[in-house]
């Protein structure tokens, strides 16, 4: 059984980080693929947990080595999804969450059309701005870049199969968990289980046919 690939995008400050953390802690059989980035590590982050932090030459080496399922330049830094990690994790049977920007989501969907795409929309620009300012992780220049980029990013919501408005965290967590669970019940995701059941019906039918009425 191969796990589902779940692509999650939102503008910076959309609150997807907290949402993803909550869902990872409270949903069984789900894991997160850690991306590579060239951006600076923030206070409280750890190499190998939020990202693998590398410099630009190393990132270019990884591109050349074919290590990325997709990569993109976002807010003046590079970010890339590790192909080997995604492969290993999905093959373990777990669902894998990928947190990427909208370009990354588009590129991933072109390569893995069966992936489940989810857009996290902040309830308003004002909320997004407040969240980013309160987070205080960016310099004022970087903050301006992120706010400016959000105008175009929100317009991309249509490219996603699901949209979650992240107003109340608890509600958003529940909605994301519900999507993950529902996707596990898609007909084509259950081929092996269904086949086992149908084989049982087939055997019973043959027994029935042999028995006198």
Distances (CA, A) of 11 to 2, 76, 143, 147, 150: 29, 15, 12, 8, 5
Rounded-to-integer distance, Cα 204 and Cα 154, Å = 54
Q: Any contact of residue 109 with ligand 5GP (CB under 6 A)?
A: no
**Regarding beta strands 5-9 and 68-74, do their DSSP bridges make them parallel or antiparallel, or are they unpaired?**
unpaired
Q: Does 89 bind ligand 5GP (CB under 6 A)?
A: no
121 part of the interface to ligand 5GP, by CB under 6 A: no
Which token pair is 5? 């690939």
Q: What are phi and psi of 39, to 5 degrees?
A: -75, 160
The only residue of 12, 90, 117, 166 in contact with ligand 5GP, by rule CB under 6 A? 12
Residue recorded with tokens 């069984």: 28
Identity of the residue, 79 or 119, whose beta carbon is nearer to ligand 5GP in the bound complex? 79
Q: At what angle do helices 169-184 and 16-26 cross, to 10 degrees?
A: 60
Is 120 a binding residue for ligand 5GP by CB under 6 A? The answer is no
- Shorter beta-carbon distance to ligand 5GP: residue 21 or 186: 21
Site for ligand 5GP in 56-85 (CB under 6 A): 70, 72, 74-75, 79-81
Q: How many residues bind ligand 5GP (CB under 6 A)?
A: 15
CA-CA distance, 195 to 120, in Å (whole number)?
A: 36
Minimum CB–partner distance for residue 181 and ligand 5GP (Å):
23
Q: Does 101 bind ligand 5GP (CB under 6 A)?
A: yes
Interacting residue ranges for ligand 5GP, rule: CB under 6 A: 12, 35, 39, 70, 72, 74-75, 79-81, 99-101, 103-104
């Amino acid at each position: 059984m191969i796990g589902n690939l779940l692509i999650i995008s939102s503008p910076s400050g959309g609150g997807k980080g907290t949402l993803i953390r909550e869902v990872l802690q409270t949903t069984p059989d789900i894991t997160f693929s850690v991306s590579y980035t060239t951006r600076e590590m923030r206070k409280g982050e750890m190499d190998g947990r939020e990202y693998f932090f590398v410099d630009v030459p190393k990132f270019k080496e990884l591109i050349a080595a074919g290590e990325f399922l997709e990569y993109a330049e976002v807010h003046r830094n590079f970010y890339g999804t590790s192909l080997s990690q995604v492969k290993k994790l999905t093959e373990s049977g777990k669902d894998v969450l990928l947190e990427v920007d909208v370009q990354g989501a588009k590129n991933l969907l072109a390569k893995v059309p069966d992936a489940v795409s989810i857009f996290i929309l902040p309830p308003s620009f004002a909320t997004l701005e407040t969240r980013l300012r309160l987070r205080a992780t960016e310099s004022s220049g970087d903050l301006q870049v992120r706010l400016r980029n959000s105008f175009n990013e929100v317009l991309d919501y249509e490219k996603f199969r699901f949209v979650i408005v992240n107003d109340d965290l608890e509600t958003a967590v529940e909605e994301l968990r519900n999507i993950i669970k529902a996707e596990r019940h898609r007909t084509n995701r259950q081929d092996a289980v269904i086949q086992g059941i149908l084989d049982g019906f087939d055997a019973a039918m043959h027994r029935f046919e042999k028995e006198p009425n």
